[in-house]
Chains A and B, each alone.
Chain A
Amino acid sequence: GAVVSQHPSRVICKSGTSVKIECRSLDFQATTMFWYRQFPKKSLMLMATSNEGSKATYEQGVEKDKFLINHASLTLSTLTVTSAHPEDSSFYICSAIAFRIGKGQPQHFGDGTRLSIL
């Protein structure tokens, strides 16, 4: 089945550090990748939608300069949390859709990155 790999799984760093999270589709080409944030016991909060080769579309209230998204290829998208602060501590999850012409496809999720800013 479709596999999405997310790395790293856990990050602990000091305030002011920039953190990069990678999301890779291992066995399929992903035209679209999504980045979510999830708070404890809460559902997924969509941050941005990333299409290969174009700029990401950010949801309302998500700072573009704070959360930099790059989707350089059909198998890789990265999220960089710039100058992270304690309030950015959260569980970040990516997902990807396999490219199929004219057919709806489900999202396949990575295992998430737990980010803790001290």
Chain B
Amino acid sequence: QKEVEQDPGPLSVPEGAIVSLNCTYSNSAFQYFMWYRQYSRKGPELLMYTYSSGNKEDGRFTAQVDKSSKYISLFIRDSQPSDSATYLCAMSESPRTGNQFYFGTGTSLTVIP
């Protein structure tokens, strides 16, 4: 079983839709959770960074972490064509145990005008 599972998609939605992207994981020691957006031929860009459980909101983006279910989500409200990209989830344990990060395989999103 992979440490982090992410549906690769592709996901296609109309402009203005609410998008839900998800990852599940198996390691209960993960405490730090990240979402990255990667445009074609570019490096990943950090979108959201959360610690432990709960929600975090930044503009049209909301990150949710449910540690009891080992499940994280990224919601995009009022999706725009410029949101079309691949979204990667990532997670890590306490920094005291090292700097190892685990990435999902990425979900490809297309927002249709």
Contacts and interface: CB of A to CB of B under 8 A. Distances in A.
Interface of A: 1-2, 4, 6, 32, 34, 41-44, 49, 91, 93, 95, 97, 102-112, 114
Interface of B: 31-32, 34, 36, 41-46, 49, 51, 88, 90, 92, 94-96, 99-101, 103-106, 108
Contact of B99 (A91, A97, A108, A111): A97
B92 A104 contact: yes
A91 B45 CA distance: 16
A32 B99 contact: yes
Contacts of A1: 46
B95 A42 contact: no
A109 B90 CA distance: 13
A97 to B, nearest CB: 6
A43 B95 contact: no
Nearest to A100: B95
Contacts of B108: 41
